[in-house]
Structure 1
């Protein structure tokens, strides 16, 4: 079970297809909330997801984000019966929402509580980390009805599991179990003692305690160097790390670590000058 935490609804939130909670730990929990249609992605959900992400981006108290679905499904893909499907720009709404998730500066964890197919897997692929229930089903079946993943699924899947494995899944359109997904490096399985959401929230709370400038920079480094030879991108990595924080910010985090952990206390012992600086 999740530990008891103070939970708040996002104040500006007035969404019909989403539930959003902010926890005092700095973790936001975003839940796709269309269980009667397997949390499929409609135009309305795409618009609300994009708007919600903009609210969360502007909230300095949010330091990590968990995305999940209501009921038995994470998200079974695009809502092919959406009344707005024939409106020009329908697919672009979904792309904007998925890309908005990928562009979040805070770490994002997908808690895959059930089926994640098509656009649902594309949503999960836009997250930094994916934790899945043992019984979850994963796949990109679009080719079976003459389409292809249209919201970045091809490129992101290839980046996560490699070209050959991604090609096999996309060209066959077959679904795989979460156990096989873990073998491919697509997901991490939740423990038998906890759900995907519980596992994801615990990890998010751990991550949220890390310096935000460091988690933000780590995401930037991974994003800018993905798929490139290390020798070709070291200058980018070094530059981002060297500029990620001021000396004062780094020193404040060293002192925080020293107060939290005796090992770091021996390393980052407070000097009188540092103590004076911290007290200002």
Structure 2
């Protein structure tokens, strides 16, 4: 796969028994490209297969976690997903070892969906979270609409999804989405300490424990996702007029012009 600096990259560093994975495209707020999705998929393969690694930490560079799908690619019909792990090289098949998100700045759109794919979330107190897709004529297609109401009270998740407005980290912490809320600049350090603590435990017992925790919500999530996935994929990826107009308006920094779908003479 060819790449340029504009494609971004995913960096990895082993710290003791922890693999630190960094989304590195700060000029575009770590928005995900097809190249980065492939890189993240490969990093998680390394986490899964290296017996010396016991846990992973996923973070972003430049003071941001992730702004989601690169919309320039999306408008061309190119999406940051892999055959193996799905959206962003993670969402459909997380690693078989614990993965902790370390969030500074914000986790928006696909960035929040990436965080929801992790087992624990550490965030700075000035971070924000949101799924703003609906404001741009999009639908959160990477399991955010399935996982968010399973992690938060229904009405909190519904307000986030229907308004598209970002919410502060302290609200997410009060409702249990965050494992730890820390001072700005300390998310990675805290997540790494937590990962090191987890890595002290024996690997087989930890794997069985992690699988059991995930299985507790997997059946509900799989039923909801099966009902949503077809409609979401068609809307998000088949050139729906609202989708095309919303993404174009965002990239052109103008207000979208939403067409009225009501037929002439309708109610």
TM-score calculated relative to the size of structure 1: 0.70
Question: In the TM superposition, what whole-angstrom CA distance separates every residue of 1:93-127 from its partner, at most 9, and x where no partner exists?
Answer: 46161325x52111110000111100001110000
Query: Could you say if the C-alpha distance between residues 227 and 19 of structure 1 is closer, same or farther in structure 2, counting changes exceeding 3 Å?
Result: closer
Unaligned runs of 5+ in 1: 1-14, 230-280
Aligned to 2:14: 22
8 A contact 2:123–2:182 mirrored in 1: no
8 A contact 2:125–2:184 mirrored in 1: no
Aligned to 1:170: 161
Q: Larger Cα Rg: Structure 1 or Structure 2?
A: 1
Aligned to 1:200: 191
Aligned-pair CA distance for 1:44: 1.1
Residues 1:42 and 2:33 are matched in the alignment: yes
Aligned to 1:266: none
Aligned mates of 1:50, 1:201 — CA distance in 2: 21
Residues 1:98 and 2:90 are matched in the alignment: yes
Aligned mates of 2:156, 2:8 — CA distance in 1: 37
Unaligned runs of 5+ in 2: 1-6, 221-267
8 A contact 1:17–1:44 mirrored in 2: yes
Query: Which contiguous aligned blocks of 4+ residues in structure 1 show a shift greater than 3 angstroms?
Result: 91-94, 188-194
Report the count of equivalent residues. 211
Which of 103, 120, 131 lines up with 1:112 in the alignment?
Answer: 103
Classify the secondary structure of the residue corresponding to 2:95.
coil
Q: RMSD over aligned Cα, in angstroms?
A: 2.2
Aligned to 2:232: none
Query: Could you say if the C-alpha distance between residues 80 and 194 of structure 1 is closer, same or farther in structure 2, counting changes exceeding 3 Å?
Result: closer
Aligned mates of 2:214, 2:179 — CA distance in 1: 20
Aligned-pair CA distance for 1:192: 3.4
Higher RCO structure (Cα 8 Å, ≥6 apart): 2
Classify the secondary structure of the residue corresponding to 2:91.
helix
TM-score calculated relative to the size of structure 2: 0.73
Classify the secondary structure of the residue corresponding to 2:72.
coil
Aligned-pair CA distance for 1:22: 0.8
Query: Could you say if the C-alpha distance between residues 64 and 109 of structure 1 is closer, same or farther in structure 2, counting changes exceeding 3 Å?
Result: same
Aligned mates of 1:96, 1:81 — CA distance in 2: 15
Residues 1:211 and 2:168 are matched in the alignment: no
Aligned mates of 1:193, 1:50 — CA distance in 2: 28
Matches within 5 A, 1:219-238: 219-226=210-217
Question: Could you tell which deviates more after superposition, 219-228 or 116-125?
Answer: 219-228
Aligned-pair CA distance for 1:226: 1.8
